[in-house]
């Protein structure tokens, strides 16, 4: 009886209680993320599916060397980085800007309708979206028809001209994701105390001032976290999107690490090699996150961990 | 609200922009809808844009008659609802705990979680874990392994950190223990983020098919996206020109594909409008009055 | 208020999870449906005699993107009829062709193999399979075939049995699903258009170009738009799909991806100088509009759609598709009327021979048997019966079910009125160990049968036999450097595209291609291929 009381006392001590609250989640990570993560060791082996990890031959850095030796490695790394940076530079601010603008809409029914419509493209797969855009931008398609009629220029082969490729890729990507991306910022803004705005208006602050003095600071933690999480996957690309838009004429600017891995994977049975490439991307991502996190700590005081 | 002239101009422009943007976002859906209601003759010749030509409901009749589509829909609804609930349970508890400064090992755990976010999960070991837990060919394999994601934990933790401390103090004074603080104070104050994370998990769950490929063998347990993939995607990638001809007359492959895509997207698209009331500014702050 | 909602949600969660846990343990397998958790060696021990309990085994195989199979029900007449005829109950575990690699790898890695596993046409010749074979996961079949599978042995040529796709170290592990014949792709042309132009059947290269030219300059469907496409090419150059583009390769005698033995060495066609002529010819076709202009951005499915609109003058496809069961012949499912299709074999080659497509291996898929299977001889007997020539077997696989699909009229077979032609893919292809589509018996009952048979014969007469090279797997250096191959993303595909669109000149592009190819590993590929050929042609 005394012991049971002691136990309850122990379990309700703040540090123990809070730890217990975290236990289910931590167990989940252990089983479904950490244990499989250890499977990445196959990048250092010649993974033999049948004999398993424990009986596969150890080859150290051989697969990584193979990756660096690959003739086109610099090319695809460059493409991956460039596209990643474009996507970050344009695609990251876009949902934030849009969320801020939605926030300014006063008419409630208009705001809610707009929100419900903007996220629709998120639900379509790239195969569908991609085909639509290819048709749209085709030499015989509507966009070129417009250009020919109104501007009297020759049809532009948008999809097969390397100079347009990255821009099209990033733009279509933004179109598809921006509406969905606003949701998290809107949720964050919903948590801001409205009396802060009322007070600011009373002090004569205009819309711009309200945004910079109240909204943005309140959103800063979310912005920083989202940015860092994004950066961690800088080298990861949406294979579905790439494969639909990629064609032989734009490979020089469009072939990225993930499409290369996809092609290698098609020939099959190269688990160790593709895992090694994945690890390479992750290491780059990790370095970026850690260093940018340090910077953020100094600049904004926000840190991801 | 003081009405400056520049204010009115801003609002006009803003609204106009949203109308234009909204239209651009809507167009593909409208196009799909038109395709799903048009007859094959016009579809094949690429003459259908935003309005159906050769209007017929045969595509939807086919879909309604396909038992496996409805079953898959049921499976998807089930695993989305239950899966989201499970995900919220894991995510909210872990993220809340990690948002408290007195959580033991907080820094280390967060770093470890970051590692799982950045490094890839290899397919074979992932499969073997689920197999060893005897979850293969069960709906659990579609709901449990993906019930927690580092990305969601970080976002949710950030939100929890932003909660003002006064209420927690008040709660402690009133004698609440940690569990009560979580349950009675933190959660009710976080409905926007619960709605958000729940929505994200739900959509992810609804759109997922990779796990189903490797874990599910019984076709009765296929979620809807597996079938969409079959009908709209995979079937088009190889050279097996198949037998939609079995279906009467007017129904062309593209028509059914468009219909199936809309059919499969419709339920999940409806969730967000219902959750919108949680995104209203300041709706949740009523409990905290200065 | 919100608390109640949360409590309610948690209760729902608990209830639902209990319900889910219970329902997932319920075994809802019924007759013909796949059971959960394909176990190893679930084959039963019963003897395979009529009237006794049927022999069952599990078979994991691709559904070949067939809607019928995806919608397969437990009371399906064809699987039940096959079970009745053979007293063998097959527990099919269908997978999507696109998922094959994932399925095969996860099952091997978890040591959870069905009795029979169907592999791609590369058979056991890939590292995953080879290590499983060496580890004893699959049964060597030589003895079983000798004792119980004589018909199977006879159906497959000796050189195919010894190919790396089926054998290892002298032991046979794989039983092939056989193609109708080792080359089936023909050139489908619009006979009704030829008639309209008053042209005879094209034979020479000039004949074909004249045909294309006429199409280019005539508005054949009268819609005021010049939207007819003389020849439809496929833009996504995955290895599989190049065959649909091989219009003139036979004429010049070079097929990218194929090899030949020249002066004591293996040489790949893709660096043969005749490729320059080939590219020049294709570029001319593209420029004159004889080829669809969106060849590099259109997706594969667009090619079918285009063909079905009846605006294509020539395209390559399997000859049996010209039959009544197929989609592309004169009785095909075109959007317009009056379509008449002839199946040809392209222009007569430069050197005067008939040459259209390379001779293939005749292997469509490969089946391996789990070493732990009980009574594997029953499986061999099952497949052997299919090839035995027994009347029951022949009739089922050619015509379907008596009284449902066909009836016997004084010993002659006639189709019933209720027969659904599209279902024929099930009994002619999906359930069999051999492709019966376009076979002689089937053609005999097909109004288009003669067209199909003639096409098949012509195609076999116009093949380019590269000997043992047809069994050669991709050289290791090409596996490690896919750009050396000819698929999507390869140097060849890039060059092809750039030349066709006029972004680069043929001579420079090709010479550049050859030197790059050699530098990035091509020379090694030649060495490997040479060594392989020398080993295998003993």
Instruction: Find out whether C419 and C404 touch, Cβ atoms under 8 Å.
Output: yes
C173: which DSSP letter? -
Cβ–Cβ below 8 Å for C297 and A49: no
Cβ–Cβ below 8 Å for B158 and A222: yes
Q: Give the residue on A whose Cα is nearest the Cα of C503.
A: A249
Which candidate from A134, A248, A259 shows the least CB-CB separation from C494? A248
User: What integer pLDDT is reported at residue C9 of this predicted model?
Assistant: 57
Give the bridge partners for C464, in sequence order. Answer: C358
Query: In chain C, which residues fall in CATH 3.40.190.10?
Result: 55-181+362-436, 185-358+463-536
Instruction: Find out whether A232 and B111 touch, Cβ atoms under 8 Å.
Output: no
The top-level CATH class assigned to C185-358+463-536 is: alpha beta
**Residues of chain B where predicted confidence (pLDDT) is lower than 50:** 235-250, 283-290
Helix H or strand E encompassing C412: strand C412-415
Instruction: Find out whether B214 and B123 touch, Cβ atoms under 8 Å.
Output: yes
Write out pLDDT tens, residues A131-162. Answer: 888 888 888 788 888 888 888 888 888 888 99
Cβ–Cβ below 8 Å for B97 and A135: no
Question: Which tokens sit at C83?
Answer: 């079970």
Q: Which of B181-195, C58-72, C294-308, C377-391 has the lowest mean pLDDT?
A: C294-308
User: What integer pLDDT is reported at residue B126 of this predicted model?
Assistant: 93
Q: Which chain C residues contact residue A72 at CB under 8 A?
A: 483
Write out pLDDT tens, residues A267-288. Answer: 777 889 999 999 999 999 999 9
pTM of the model: 0.87
Instruction: Find out whether B49 and B31 touch, Cβ atoms under 8 Å.
Output: yes
Nearest to C309 by CA among B160, B46, A262, B282: B46
Q: What span, in angstroms and rounded, lies between the C-alpha atoms of B224 and B74?
A: 8
Whether B31 has its CB under 8 Å from any CB of chain C: the answer is no
Write out pLDDT tens, residues C274-296. Answer: 999 999 999 999 999 999 888 88
Cβ–Cβ below 8 Å for C68 and B235: no
CATH 1.10.3720.10 at A61-299, yes or no: yes
Whether A275 has its CB under 8 Å from any CB of chain B: the answer is yes
> Chain C: nearest CA to A267, how far in angstroms?
7
Question: Which tokens sit at C471?
Answer: 């069994």
Instruction: Find out whether B33 and B51 touch, Cβ atoms under 8 Å.
Output: no
DSSP string spanning C218-231? --TT-SSS---EEE
pLDDT over threshold 80, residue C200: yes
Residue with tokens 């898929």: C365
C253: which DSSP letter? T
Chains that touch B (3 or more CB pairs under 8 A): A, C
- Which of 52-111 (B) contact C at CB < 8 A? 66, 68, 78, 81-82, 85-86, 89
User: Edge to edge, what strands does the sheet with C88-95 contain?
Assistant: C88-95, C55-62, C116-119, C363-369, C174-178
**Domain ranges within chain B, ordered by starting residue:** 29-65+238-280, 81-223
Which residues, 6+ apart, have CB-to-CB distance to C187 below 8 Å?
A: C247, C314, C315, C316, C343, C344, C345, C346, C356
Tell me the fold of B81-223: MetI-like fold (1.10.3720)
Cα dist from C272 to A40, A193, C255, C259, C497, whole Å: 42, 74, 10, 10, 18
Chains that touch A (3 or more CB pairs under 8 A): B, C
The top-level CATH class assigned to C55-181+362-436 is: alpha beta
Which candidate from B128, B184, B254 shows the least CB-CB separation from C109? B128
SS3 A116: helix
C489: which DSSP letter? T
Q: What span, in angstroms and rounded, lies between the C-alpha atoms of A282 and A259?
A: 16
Instruction: Find out whether A286 and A229 touch, Cβ atoms under 8 Å.
Output: no
Nearest to C424 by CA among C326, C318, C304: C326
User: C65: left (phi > 0), else alpha (psi -120 to 50), else beta?
Assistant: left
Q: Exposed, middle or buried by CB within 10 Å (0-12, 13-18, 19+), for C458?
A: middle
Average pLDDT (C156-161) is 93
> Chain A: nearest CA to B97, how far in angstroms?
6
> Chain B: nearest CA to A113, how far in angstroms?
8
> Chain C: nearest CA to A268, how far in angstroms?
7
Residue with tokens 């036999």: C465
| pLDDT category of residue A289 using cuts at 50, 70 and 90 | very high
Residue with tokens 């603008």: A101
Which candidate from B82, B238, B244 shows the least CB-CB separation from C20? B82
User: What integer pLDDT is reported at residue C268 of this predicted model?
Assistant: 96
- Which of 131-150 (B) contact A at CB < 8 A? 133, 144-148, 150
> Chain B: nearest CA to A289, how far in angstroms?
9
pLDDT over threshold 80, residue C36: no
Q: What span, in angstroms and rounded, lies between the C-alpha atoms of C347 and C291?
A: 16
Q: What span, in angstroms and rounded, lies between the C-alpha atoms of C234 and B157?
A: 50
Specify the pairing of strand C55-62 against strand C88-95.
parallel
Chains that touch C (3 or more CB pairs under 8 A): A, B
Q: Which chain A residues contact residue C127 at CB under 8 A?
A: 48, 269
Give the bridge partners for C168, in sequence order. Answer: C171
> Chain A: nearest CA to C375, how far in angstroms?
24
**Domain ranges within chain A, ordered by starting residue:** 61-299
Specify the pairing of strand C312-318 against strand C265-268.
unpaired
Share of chain A above pLDDT 70, in %: 100
| pLDDT category of residue C104 using cuts at 50, 70 and 90 | very high
Instruction: Find out whether B38 and B55 touch, Cβ atoms under 8 Å.
Output: yes
C472: which DSSP letter? P
Whether B47 has its CB under 8 Å from any CB of chain A: the answer is no
Q: What span, in angstroms and rounded, lies between the C-alpha atoms of C209 and C202?
A: 9
User: What integer pLDDT is reported at residue A131 of this predicted model?
Assistant: 80
Q: What span, in angstroms and rounded, lies between the C-alpha atoms of A168 and A174?
A: 10
> Chain C: nearest CA to A236, how far in angstroms?
19
Whether A193 has its CB under 8 Å from any CB of chain B: the answer is yes
User: What integer pLDDT is reported at residue B276 of this predicted model?
Assistant: 80
C363: which DSSP letter? E
Cα dist from C247 to C184, C233, C356, C486, C498, whole Å: 14, 9, 8, 16, 19
Cβ–Cβ below 8 Å for B1 and A24: no
For an interface test with B, the pick among C11, C19, C20 (most B C-beta atoms closer than 10 Å) comes out as C20
């Amino acid at each position: 009886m005394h012991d049971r009381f002691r136990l309850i006392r122990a379990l309700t001590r703040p540090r123990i209680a809070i730890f217990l609250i975290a236990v289910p989640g931590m167990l989940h990570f252990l089983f479904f993320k950490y244990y499989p993560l250890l499977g990445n060791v196959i990048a250092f082996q010649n993974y033999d599916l049948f004999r398993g990890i424990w009986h596969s031959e150890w080859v150290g850095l051989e697969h990584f060397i193979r990756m660096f030796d690959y003739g086109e490695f610099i090319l695809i790394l460059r493409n991956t980085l460039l596209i990643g940076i474009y996507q970050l530079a344009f695609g990251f601010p876009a949902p934030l800007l849009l969320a801020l603008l939605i926030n300014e809409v006063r008419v409630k029914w208009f705001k809610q309708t707009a929100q419900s419509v903007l996220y629709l493209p998120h639900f379509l797969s790239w195969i569908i979206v991609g085909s639509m855009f290819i048709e749209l931008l085709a030499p015989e398609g509507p966009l070129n028809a417009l250009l020919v009629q109104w501007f009297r220029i020759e049809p532009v082969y948008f999809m097969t001209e390397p100079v347009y490729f990255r821009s099209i890729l990033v733009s279509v990507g933004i179109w598809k994701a921006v509406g969905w991306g606003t949701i998290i910022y809107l949720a964050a803004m919903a948590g801001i105390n409205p009396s802060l705005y009322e007070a600011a208006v009373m002090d004569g602050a205009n819309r711009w001032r309200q945004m910079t003095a109240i909204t943005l600071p309140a959103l800063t933690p979310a912005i920083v976290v989202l940015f860092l999480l994004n950066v961690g996957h800088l080298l990861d690309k949406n294979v579905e999107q790439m494969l639909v838009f990629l064609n032989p004429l734009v490979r020089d600017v469009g072939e990225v690490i993930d499409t290369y891995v996809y092609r290698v994977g098609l020939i099959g049975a190269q688990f160790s090699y593709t895992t090694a490439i994945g690890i390479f991307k992750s290491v780059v991502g990790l370095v970026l996150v850690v260093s940018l996190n340090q910077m953020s700590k100094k600049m904004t005081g926000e840190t991801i961990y | 609200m003081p009405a400056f002239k520049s204010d009115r101009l801003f609002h006009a422009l803003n609204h106009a922009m949203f109308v234009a943007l909204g239209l651009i976002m809507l167009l593909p859906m409208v196009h799909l809808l038109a395709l799903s209601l048009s007859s094959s003759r016009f579809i094949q010749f690429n003459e259908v844009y935003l309005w159906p030509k050769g209007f017929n409901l045969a595509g939807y009749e086919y879909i309604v008659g396909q038992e496996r589509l409805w079953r898959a829909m049921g499976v998807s609804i089930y695993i989305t609802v239950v899966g989201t609930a499970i995900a919220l349970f894991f995510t909210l508890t872990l993220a809340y705990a990690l948002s408290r400064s007195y959580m033991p090992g907080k820094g280390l755990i967060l770093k470890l979680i970051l590692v799982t976010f950045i490094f890839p999960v290899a397919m074979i070991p992932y499969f073997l874990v689920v197999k060893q837990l005897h979850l293969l060919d069960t709906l659990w394999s579609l709901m449990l392994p993906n019930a927690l994601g580092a990305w969601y934990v970080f976002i949710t933790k950030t939100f929890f950190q932003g909660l003002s401390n006064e209420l927690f103090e008040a709660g402690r004074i009133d004698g609440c223990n940690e569990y009560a603080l979580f349950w009675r104070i933190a959660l009710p104050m976080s409905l926007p983020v619960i709605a958000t994370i729940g929505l994200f998990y739900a959509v992810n769950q609804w759109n997922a098919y990779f796990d189903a490929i490797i874990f599910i063998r019984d076709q009765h347990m296929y979620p809807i996206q597996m079938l969409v993939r079959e009908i709209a995607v995979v079937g088009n990638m190889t050279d097996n020109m198949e037998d939609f001809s079995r279906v009467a007359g007017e129904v062309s492959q593209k028509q059914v594909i468009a219909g199936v895509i809309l059919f499969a997207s419709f339920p999940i698209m409806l969730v967000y409008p219902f959750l919108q009331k949680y995104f209203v500014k300041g709706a949740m702050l009523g409990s905290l009055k200065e | 208020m919100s608390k109640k909602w949360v409590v309610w949600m948690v209760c729902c969660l608990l209830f639902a999870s209990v319900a889910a846990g219970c329902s997932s343990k319920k075994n809802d397998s019924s007759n013909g449906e796949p059971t959960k958790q394909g176990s190893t060696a679930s084959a039963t021990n019963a003897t395979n005699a009529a009237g006794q309990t049927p022999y069952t085994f599990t078979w994991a195989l691709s559904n070949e993107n067939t809607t019928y199979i995806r919608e397969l029900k437990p009371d399906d007449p064809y699987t039940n009829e096959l079970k009745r005829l053979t007293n063998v109950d097959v527990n099919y575990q269908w997978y999507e062709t696109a998922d094959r690699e994932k399925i095969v790898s996860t099952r091997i890695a978890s040591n959870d193999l069905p009795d029979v596993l169907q592999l791609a046409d590369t058979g056991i010749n890939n590292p995953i399979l080879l290590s499983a074979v060496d580890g004893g996961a699959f049964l060597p079949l030589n003895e079983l075939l000798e004792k119980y599978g004589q018909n199977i042995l006879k159906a497959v040529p000796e050189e195919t049995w010894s190919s790396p796709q089926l054998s290892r170290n002298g032991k046979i592990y794989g039983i092939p699903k056989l193609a109708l014949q080792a080359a089936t792709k023909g050139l489908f042309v619009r006979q009704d258009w030829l008639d309209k132009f008053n042209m005879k059947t094209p034979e020479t290269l000039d004949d074909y170009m004249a045909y294309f030219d006429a199409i280019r300059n005539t508005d054949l469907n009268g819609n005021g738009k010049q939207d007819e496409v003389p020849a439809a090419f496929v833009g996504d150059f995955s290895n599989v799909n190049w065959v649909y583009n091989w219009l003139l390769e036979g004429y010049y005698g070079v097929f990218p991806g194929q090899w030949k033995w020249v002066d004591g060495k293996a040489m790949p066609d893709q660096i043969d100088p005749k490729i320059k002529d080939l590219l020049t010819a294709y570029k001319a076709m593209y420029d004159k509009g004889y080829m669809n202009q969106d060849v590099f951005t259109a997706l594969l499915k667009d090619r079918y759609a285009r063909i079905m609109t009846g605006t294509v003058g020539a395209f390559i496809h399997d000859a049996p598709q010209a039959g009544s069961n197929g989609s592309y012949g004169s009785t095909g499912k075109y959007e317009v009327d009056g379509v008449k299709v002839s199946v040809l074999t392209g222009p007569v080659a430069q050197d005067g021979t008939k040459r259209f497509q390379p001779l293939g291996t005749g292997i469509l898929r490969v089946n391996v048997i789990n070493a732990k299977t009980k009574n594997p001889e029953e499986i061999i007997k099952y497949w052997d019966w299919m090839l035995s020539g027994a009347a029951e077997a022949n009739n089922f696989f050619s015509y379907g079910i008596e009284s449902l699909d066909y009836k016997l009229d004084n010993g002659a077979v006639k189709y019933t009125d209720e027969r659904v032609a599209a279902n024929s893919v099930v009994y002619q292809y999906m359930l069999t160990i051999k492709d019966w589509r376009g076979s002689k018996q089937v053609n005999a009952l097909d109004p288009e049968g003669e067209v199909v048979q003639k096409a098949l014969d012509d195609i076999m007469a116009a093949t380019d036999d590269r000997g043992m090279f047809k069994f050669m797997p991709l050289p290791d250096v090409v596996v490690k450097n896919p750009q050396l191959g000819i698929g999507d993303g390869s140097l060849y595909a890039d060059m092809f595209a750039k030349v066709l669109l006029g972004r680069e000149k043929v001579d420079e592009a090709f010479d550049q291609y050859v030197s790059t190819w050699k530098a990035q590993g091509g020379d090694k590929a030649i060495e490997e291929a040479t060594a392989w050929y020398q080993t295998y042609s003993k």
